[in-house]
Structure 1
Amino acid sequence: MAIDDSTTLTVGVEEEFFLVDAAGRLVDQGPETAERGAAAVDGDPDLKPELLRAMVESATGICHSAHQVVEELTELRGALAGAAREQGALLVATGTVPHQQPDFTPVGPGARYRQITAHVGEFMFAGMTCGCHVHVGVEDTAAALRAANHLRLWLPALITVCANSPFHDGRDTGYASTRHLLWERWPSAGPPPYLDSVEQYEELVEDLLATGAILDRKMVYFDVRPSEDQPTVETRISDVAPTPREAALLAVLVRSIVAESLDGDRDFPRVPTQVVRAAQWRAAKDGWGAVVPDPWSDGYRPAPEIFADLVARHAPALRRSDELEFVRSTLASLDETGDGATRQRAAGLDGVVAMLAAQTEGASLTGSQPR
Structure 2
Amino acid sequence: MQVGSRTQSVPAQRRSMDALLTVGVEEEFVLVEASTGHLANRANEVLAGVDRFQVDLQPEIAQYQVESASGICTDMGELRDQLATARRALVERAAQHDARLAATGTPVLGLTMPTPLTNAARYHRMAQEMGALTNDLAICGCHVHIGLADDESKIFVSNHLRPWLPTLLALGANSPYWLDADTGYASWRYVVWNRWPTSGAPPHFESAAEYFEARDDIVTSGAALDAGMLYWDVRLSARHPTLELRVSDVAPTVEEAVLMAALVRGIAATALSSGATPPRVPPHLLRVALWRAARDGLEGFGIDPVTGAPTPAATIVASLLRWIRPALELAGDYQLVSDGIDRLLLDGTGAARQRRAFARRGRLSDVVGLLVAQTAPV
**TM-score under structure 1 normalisation?**
0.91
Q: Do structure 1's residue 124 and structure 2's residue 143 form an aligned pair?
A: no
Q: Do structure 1's residue 204 and structure 2's residue 214 form an aligned pair?
A: yes
Output the amino acid matched with 2:208.
V
Partner of 1:355: 370
For residues 281 and 24 of structure 1, the distance between their equivalents in structure 2, rounded to whole angstroms, comes to 29
Output the amino acid matched with 1:140.
D
Describe the shift of the 1:48–1:355 C-alpha distance in structure 2 as closer, same or farther (beyond 3 A). same
Query: What percentage of residue pairs aligned between the two structures are identical?
Result: 41
The answer (yes or no) to whether the contact 1:81–1:361 under 8 Å persists in 2 is yes
Kindly state the Cα deviation for residue 127 of structure 1 after the two structures are TM-superposed.
4.0
For residues 131 and 29 of structure 2, the distance between their equivalents in structure 1, rounded to whole angstroms, comes to 22
Partner of 1:153: 163
The answer (yes or no) to whether the contact 1:60–1:73 under 8 Å persists in 2 is yes
For residues 88 and 6 of structure 1, the distance between their equivalents in structure 2, rounded to whole angstroms, comes to 48
Describe the shift of the 1:232–1:209 C-alpha distance in structure 2 as closer, same or farther (beyond 3 A). same
For residues 278 and 4 of structure 1, the distance between their equivalents in structure 2, rounded to whole angstroms, comes to 36
Q: How big is each residue's C-alpha offset from its partner over 1:217-267, in whole Å with a ceiling of 9 and x where there is no partner?
A: 100001101111122111100000000101111111111111122234432
The answer (yes or no) to whether the contact 2:24–2:71 under 8 Å persists in 1 is yes
Number of corresponding residues:
360
1:167-316 matches, within 5 Å, as: 167-316=177-326
Kindly state the Cα deviation for residue 102 of structure 1 after the two structures are TM-superposed.
5.3
Q: How big is each residue's C-alpha offset from its partner over 1:305-327, in whole Å with a ceiling of 9 and x where there is no partner?
A: 33334334444553454432222
Output the amino acid matched with 2:23.
V
1:19 aligned counterpart, secondary structure = strand
The answer (yes or no) to whether the contact 2:281–2:305 under 8 Å persists in 1 is no
For residues 321 and 260 of structure 1, the distance between their equivalents in structure 2, rounded to whole angstroms, comes to 11
For residues 251 and 307 of structure 2, the distance between their equivalents in structure 1, rounded to whole angstroms, comes to 28
Mean Cα deviation higher: 351-360 or 179-188: 351-360
Output the amino acid matched with 2:48.
E
Which of 31, 48, 55 is residue 19 of structure 1 equivalent to?
A: 31
Output the amino acid matched with 2:95.
R
For residues 112 and 25 of structure 2, the distance between their equivalents in structure 1, rounded to whole angstroms, comes to 32
Describe the shift of the 1:265–1:358 C-alpha distance in structure 2 as closer, same or farther (beyond 3 A). closer
The answer (yes or no) to whether the contact 1:4–1:314 under 8 Å persists in 2 is no
Output the amino acid matched with 1:65.
D
2:298 aligned counterpart, secondary structure = coil
Kindly state the Cα deviation for residue 150 of structure 1 after the two structures are TM-superposed.
1.1
User: Unpaired runs of 5+ in structure 1?
Assistant: 364-371
Calculate the aligned-residue CA RMSD, in Å.
2.1
Describe the shift of the 1:316–1:3 C-alpha distance in structure 2 as closer, same or farther (beyond 3 A). farther
Partner of 1:46: 56
For residues 330 and 103 of structure 2, the distance between their equivalents in structure 1, rounded to whole angstroms, comes to 32
Output the amino acid matched with 1:137.
G
The answer (yes or no) to whether the contact 1:159–1:280 under 8 Å persists in 2 is yes
Kindly state the Cα deviation for residue 125 of structure 1 after the two structures are TM-superposed.
2.3
Q: Do structure 1's residue 69 and structure 2's residue 79 form an aligned pair?
A: yes
The answer (yes or no) to whether the contact 1:35–1:48 under 8 Å persists in 2 is no
For residues 314 and 369 of structure 2, the distance between their equivalents in structure 1, rounded to whole angstroms, comes to 29
Describe the shift of the 1:253–1:336 C-alpha distance in structure 2 as closer, same or farther (beyond 3 A). same
Partner of 2:107: 97
1:208 aligned counterpart, secondary structure = helix
For residues 260 and 86 of structure 2, the distance between their equivalents in structure 1, rounded to whole angstroms, comes to 18
Which of 34, 52, 55 is residue 65 of structure 2 equivalent to?
A: 55
1:8 aligned counterpart, secondary structure = coil
Kindly state the Cα deviation for residue 72 of structure 1 after the two structures are TM-superposed.
1.1
Partner of 1:368: none
Partner of 1:139: 149
Q: How big is each residue's C-alpha offset from its partner over 1:282-324, in whole Å with a ceiling of 9 and x where there is no partner?
A: 0010111333333455545333333334334444553454432
Partner of 2:22: 10
Kindly state the Cα deviation for residue 6 of structure 1 after the two structures are TM-superposed.
8.3
Describe the shift of the 1:320–1:153 C-alpha distance in structure 2 as closer, same or farther (beyond 3 A). closer
Partner of 1:35: 48
Mean Cα deviation higher: 47-56 or 347-356: 347-356
User: Unpaired runs of 5+ in structure 2?
Assistant: 1-12, 359-363
Mean Cα deviation higher: 137-146 or 168-177: 137-146
The answer (yes or no) to whether the contact 1:7–1:65 under 8 Å persists in 2 is no
Kindly state the Cα deviation for residue 100 of structure 1 after the two structures are TM-superposed.
2.2
The answer (yes or no) to whether the contact 1:188–1:219 under 8 Å persists in 2 is yes
Partner of 1:369: none
Output the amino acid matched with 2:279.
P
For residues 241 and 253 of structure 1, the distance between their equivalents in structure 2, rounded to whole angstroms, comes to 14
Output the amino acid matched with 1:350.
S
Which of 327, 345, 370 is residue 355 of structure 2 equivalent to?
A: 345
1:119 aligned counterpart, secondary structure = helix
Describe the shift of the 1:108–1:102 C-alpha distance in structure 2 as closer, same or farther (beyond 3 A). closer
The answer (yes or no) to whether the contact 2:347–2:353 under 8 Å persists in 1 is yes
For residues 101 and 336 of structure 2, the distance between their equivalents in structure 1, rounded to whole angstroms, comes to 26
For residues 87 and 7 of structure 1, the distance between their equivalents in structure 2, rounded to whole angstroms, comes to 44
Mean Cα deviation higher: 289-298 or 353-362: 289-298
